[in-house]
Each structure stands twice: as C-alpha cells, then as structure tokens.
Amino acid sequence: MRATTPNQTLNRLTVVVALQWMGATLGLPLLPLFLEHRGGTPTIIGFIMASFFVAGVATQFALGHLADRFGRRPILITSLVIYGVASMTYLLPVVAPWFALTRAFQGSAAGAIEVASLSAVSALFAESERGRAVSRIMAAQLFGIAVGPVAGVVASVRTLGWAFFITGIISLVAAYQTSRISLGDLVATSSPLPKLQWTRQVLGSLTAASAIGIAVGVYEACWSLLMHAHHATTLEIRLSWTLFSVPWVALSRVGGWLADHANRRVTSFFGLLNVAFFLALYPHIHNNVALLFLGSLESIGTSLSMPSISSLLTQGADARELGRRQGLYATANTASLAIAASVSGYLFTINESLPFTLMATVSTVLTLTTLGWWRHVRGNIRTGHAVDAGYDFTQI
C-alpha cells in the first residue's frame, strides 16, 4: 500500500463508494417481487425489507465506535466483504423468510460502509476543505443509485438471484480496492478513546438527520404508490429516481464549495426547509411530467445543503471521535426513516396526501428546532473554527 495524498485517496474512495452503491441497487427495484416468487406474503416481505433498517439502527453507532478504536480501513473492508457474501446468498434455493438474515447483514454492512467512508474523509481533510470532500462521497452514492437500477433493468424476477450475485462480486472488488488505499487512520494505540461530547452542535445535527430521514421514509413507502395513483408508467417511476439523482451528482461540488465558503448553519437550515416543502407539495401535483421536474428541483436544493449538514456534524471533533459522530448521525437518520416508512404506507391507504403532509409538518418542526441547537455555532469556517459555545451536557 503506497502513501497517497488526501486528494488521491478521495478519488479512490469515491470509486469504491460508487461501485458499492451501484451494486447495491442493481436488483433492488424487483426485490419484493423476487421475495413473493419465493413464497413471501406481503407481511413477510415487509418484515424482510424492514430488517435492513432495523439492523442498521442496531449496529451503526457500535460500528462507528469500532472505526474510532481500530481504524476505518479494516471496518470498511470487512463491511464490503460481508455485504458481498450476503448478496450472493440470493442464489440459495430457500424460501423467503430466510432472506431476512441476508437483509440484516446487508443493512449492518451498508451502515458501516457509510460511517467509515464519511469519517475517513473528515479525518483526511482540514475543516476548511471538508465540505467539498464530503460532497464527493455523497455524489458517488447518488451516482451509484442512479446507475444501478438502470444497469439491472435486464434482470427478470427469475434471474434476480444472479443480479445479486453480481452485486456481491462488485462489493468484493470494492473491498480489494479499499485494501490498497490509506484512509487516514491513526497508529494503533491502547490509549482510551476521547469521550464523545453531547453538545448543541451534535444534537442539532442529529435533529437534522431525523428531519431528512422522515422525508426519505415517506418516499421509500409511498413515492411509487403516489405516481401509480397518478397513472404513471413504469418508465416514469424509474425516471423519477434517476432524475432526482442527476442534479445532485452534477452540483455536488457546488454544495461542497458552499459548505467551505458560506455559512454552513444557514445553508443547512434552508436545505432542510427545502426537503419539507417539496414533501408537502408532491401529492397535490397530478401531472407526472411536472413531478419529474419538481423532483429535480428538490434535488438541487438538497445537493447544495447536505455537505454543510455533514460538515457541521464533524466540526471541531477529535480525529478519534469522528466514527462515533457519524454512527450517531446514521442511527438517527435510519431510525426516523424506518419509523416514517412503517406508518406512511398505512396513512396512504386513508388518503394519498396524508403521509406527505403529516411527515412534512414533523420535518418542518424538527428543522425549526435546529435554530435553537445551532444558534451559538459559528457557521462560516473561513472566519474562524466553529465551537460548541461551552455546551457540554454529558459524555459517553
């Protein structure tokens, strides 16, 4: 493993993340139908899909702790291998309930991959450059999500097991590539980790993570249902996900630049409001072409703000605290996503607008509370490092 500059490492890590997410979404759109073909009832399918998120919530903070303790690189490599092997099990001739274990392993591994990659980038780059670096990782995720379902369109329900087998191969290739790069890990030491500070800055970031997760949960459960209710074609539904991803990938560097040059606190706040606004708007638009266009508009606002939110999370953190902060963020985001997704499907059966309107209201309330959490946090890193204004509620 040769020494590399932070930018060279970032380039390689971006490729690894893009490969993993492309593989992860290769067969995902048809997974419920695959499980139905293996004898899964709607209840069993829902349980299997939920196991991915439950496993993530249960393990993300612990894996962030391990990344701080033993290094990000071994956690990332191990998680990629676990994800790859788990993906290959879809070829096994077993009935649907067994795949709950597969999804649980995939959920834990996916959470660890996100935590390790983002904490690695935060460790490699100075705070004044961190926004642009984080935006590259986020863009790689969205690029993989945009390309994966399109690349997997040739797979049928009957051949989906082979599509997931290819997913496993891609993940193993990504693990090999990761083994050849350095992720800014500190030299192994027996000294205890610095205590994680529960400051207003961190609590505000966790609140922001929950506000975003609630919106994503509604989309997970109800977006395709909403478009289908508006008589959208299968192609239009696929395009809606792709057209959301494309502006994000294209503008990721702009969002990173804003995080490093503008006020992160202000950019984050308006980005969160952007998410809630579009969430409330969608059910009232009955033109599917307009929905595709509006999705791209939402993506623009989100892409410009997400690097700022991520940068606020790690601002001022000790290098051996980054994994746990990312683990907390991922846990809050995944937990709120799972809760929103679990109730939104039922709310949609009552009224198609109800889950969008209700969750947009909750997301807006959470967004407004960040004004209080972040009011003493300096948002512009160029004018001085942000501090937590002495607020230190407790330590873990």
- Which residue in 167, 219, 171 sits closest to 31, CA to CA? 167
Amino acid (one-letter) located at 120: A
Residues in CB range of 220: below 8 A, 6 or more apart? 337, 340, 341
Residues in CB range of 32: below 8 A, 6 or more apart? 45, 49
Both structure tokens of 132: 């642009």
Concatenate the DSSP letters of all residues of 359-392 into one string: HHHHHHHHHHHHHHHTTTS---GGGS----TT--
Neighbour tally for 281: CB within 10 Å: 16
Concatenate the DSSP letters of all residues of 170-221 into one string: HHHHHHHHHTTS---PPPP--SPPPPPB--HHHHHHHHHHHHHHHHHHHHHH
The model's pTM:
0.83
Is there a contact between 111 and 213 (Cβ–Cβ < 8 Å)?
A: no
Sign of the CA dihedral with 172 first, then 90, 59, and 255 last = positive
Domain 1-184 has CATH 3.20.80.10: no
CATH number of 193-396: 1.20.1250.20
Map out the domains of the chain as residue ranges: 1-184, 193-396
DSSP state of 157: S
Q: What burial letters (b/e) apply to 69-97, b meaning 16+ CB within 10 Å?
A: eebbbbbbbbbbbbbbebbbbbeeeeebb
Is there a contact between 288 and 243 (Cβ–Cβ < 8 Å)?
A: no
Q: What is the pLDDT along the chain (396 residues), one digit of tens a residue?
A: 555 688 888 888 888 888 888 877 777 767 777 888 888 886 787 778 778 888 888 898 898 888 888 888 899 999 999 999 999 999 999 998 999 999 999 989 988 888 888 888 888 888 788 888 888 888 888 888 878 777 766 777 788 888 889 889 988 988 988 888 877 665 445 577 888 878 888 999 999 999 999 998 888 778 877 887 888 876 777 778 778 888 888 888 899 999 889 999 999 999 999 999 999 999 999 888 898 889 889 999 888 899 899 888 888 888 888 889 999 999 999 999 888 888 888 888 889 899 999 999 999 999 999 999 999 887 787 654 444 443 333 333
Q: Does this chain's domain 1-184 share its CATH topology with 193-396?
A: yes
Q: Is 233 exposed, middle or buried (0-12, 13-18, 19+ CB in 10 A)?
A: exposed
